[in-house]
């Protein structure tokens, strides 16, 4: 918006008297100085706010500038580790002795004449 205003003032100055042009130059110079001061002040405020947010309140932990990225990476690593642990648990088979006991008990159920007629 400011650029459009500047361009319209500058183009207007082409058709003006030298006194008007000088007034326009003075106005533009003061306007630019004012905007530079505002931008400097805004940047200082941003820096102060960012520093206070990084340091935190009394008793809070001081965070790094890229703390969000670090925490996100830690959560991703935890998720990957949990998936690996879950996968290890799923693929882990029972010991041979326990599998033999289970198959023996199932075989005994099927060989029992009282129970076998229920399934057929």
In a domain, 115, yes or no: no
In a domain, 108, yes or no: no
Dihedral sign computed on CA atoms, order 27, 33, 38, 42: positive
pLDDT (average), residues 101-117: 81
pLDDT (average), residues 13-38: 86
- Identify the residue with better confidence: 9 or 52: 52
pLDDT (average), residues 74-99: 80
In a domain, 8, yes or no: yes
pLDDT (average), residues 61-80: 82
Name residue, tokens 């998936």.
83
Domain holding 40, by residue range, is 1-60
In a domain, 37, yes or no: yes
**C-alpha span between 113 and 111 (Å, rounded):** 6
DSSP H or E run through 118: helix 113-119
**How many alpha carbons fall within 13 Å on the CB side of residue 79?**
6
pLDDT at residue 1 in the model:
43
- Identify the residue with better confidence: 119 or 26: 26
In a domain, 10, yes or no: yes
- Identify the residue with better confidence: 119 or 32: 32
**C-alpha span between 86 and 99 (Å, rounded):** 22
Contacts of 12 (CB under 8 A, 6+ apart): 24
- Identify the residue with better confidence: 74 or 120: 74
In a domain, 72, yes or no: no
Of 14-18, 35-39, 69-73, 91-95, the least confident: 91-95
Number of domains in the chain: 1
Q: Give the confidence band of 70 by pLDDT, cuts at 50, 70, 90.
A: confident
For residues 42, 59, 71, 89, the Cα torsion angle rounded to the nearest 10 degrees is: -160
Name residue, tokens 């326009």.
24
In a domain, 118, yes or no: no
Q: Give the confidence band of 20 by pLDDT, cuts at 50, 70, 90.
A: confident
In a domain, 91, yes or no: no
């Amino acid at each position: 918006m400011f650029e459009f205003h500047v361009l319209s003032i500058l183009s207007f100055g082409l058709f003006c008297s030298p006194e008007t042009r000088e007034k326009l130059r003075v106005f533009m110079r003061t306007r630019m100085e004012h905007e530079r001061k505002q931008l400097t002040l805004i940047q200082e405020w941003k820096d102060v706010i960012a520093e206070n947010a990084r340091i935190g309140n009394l008793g809070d932990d001081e965070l790094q500038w890229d703390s969000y990225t670090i925490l996100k990476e830690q959560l991703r690593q935890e998720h990957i580790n949990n998936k690996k642990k879950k996968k290890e648990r799923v693929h882990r088979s029972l010991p041979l002795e326990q599998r033999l006991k289970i198959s023996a008990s199932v075989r005994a159920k099927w060989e029992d004449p009282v129970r076998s007629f229920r399934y057929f």
